């Protein structure tokens, strides 16, 4: 794996505890660190793509009539389901569009979860609790997000901290899925950008 100067700096900043490196030779430790850099980059790309797709979809919705929007969602022009698109637009409109959130945190949440975080009555403090759970390594299902933002009478959740080795293993298992998702989102974003460009040319 060839590293850029920026990635070399990132590599130096990665701290793996003894539990992760125990019994590993230096070359193996270096490999794990390089993989962590790549994984984190992929996670950021997923978040960036989700945010960009949500922005483009919202822009289209804002610039066409409701009937055209519904027809657009059902047209098959974009590589995602109608629900996927509707949830992203809802999230972007209600909170994501103006949120200063690291892209890598968005990667662990589905469009449905992002939409739930923009539900009526949900506060920034409650959304922050979701991101704290993500950072702790908690498996974030839509039910978990709903429980956090909607509240529950159950005993407050205690988020167990995962070890560094568990986090690395979990991220490695997800990286291939994220790569496929990135490709789909990038294709979708390209289509949406072309649609917007064509609309602007038509208007002018």
pLDDT per residue, tens digit, the chain (204 aa), is: 555 555 555 777 788 888 888 898 989 888 888 888 888 888 888 889 999 999 999 999 999 999 999 999 999 898 899 999 999 999 999 999 999 988 888 988 999 999 999 999 999 999 999 999 998 888 888 999 999 998 754 444 444 556 666 767 676 676 767 667 777 777 777 778 777 777 666 665
Read off the tokens for 69: 């929007």
Half-sphere exposure of 15 (CA within 13 A, CB side): 1
Angle between helices 66-74 and 82-94 (to 10 degrees): 130
Domain assignments of the chain as residue spans, ordered by start: 25-186
Nearest to 7 by CA among 46, 36, 48, 28: 36
User: Rounded distance, CA 175 to CA 181, Å?
Assistant: 10
Q: What is the pTM of this model?
A: 0.67
């Amino acid at each position: 794996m060839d590293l850029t100067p920026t990635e070399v700096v990132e590599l130096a900043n990665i701290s793996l505890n003894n539990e992760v490196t125990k019994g590993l030779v230096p070359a193996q430790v270096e490999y794990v660190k390089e993989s962590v850099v790549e994984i984190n980059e992929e996670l950021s790309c997923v978040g960036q793509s989700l945010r960009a797709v949500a922005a483009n979809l919202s822009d289209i919705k804002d610039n066409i009539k409701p009937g055209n929007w519904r027809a657009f969602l059902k047209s098959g022009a974009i590589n995602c389901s109608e629900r996927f698109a509707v949830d992203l637009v809802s999230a972007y409109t209600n909170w994501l569009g103006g949120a200063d959130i690291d892209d890598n945190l968005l990667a662990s949440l589905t469009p449905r979860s992002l939409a739930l975080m923009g539900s009526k009555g949900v506060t920034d403090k409650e959304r922050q609790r979701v991101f704290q759970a993500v950072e702790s390594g908690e498996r974030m299902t839509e039910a978990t997000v709903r429980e956090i933002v909607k509240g529950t009478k159950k005993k407050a959740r205690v988020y167990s901290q995962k070890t560094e080795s568990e986090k690395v293993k979990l991220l490695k298992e997800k990286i291939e899925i994220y790569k496929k998702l990135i490709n789909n989102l990038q294709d979708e974003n390209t289509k949406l950008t072309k649609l917007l460009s064509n609309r602007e040319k038509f208007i002018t």
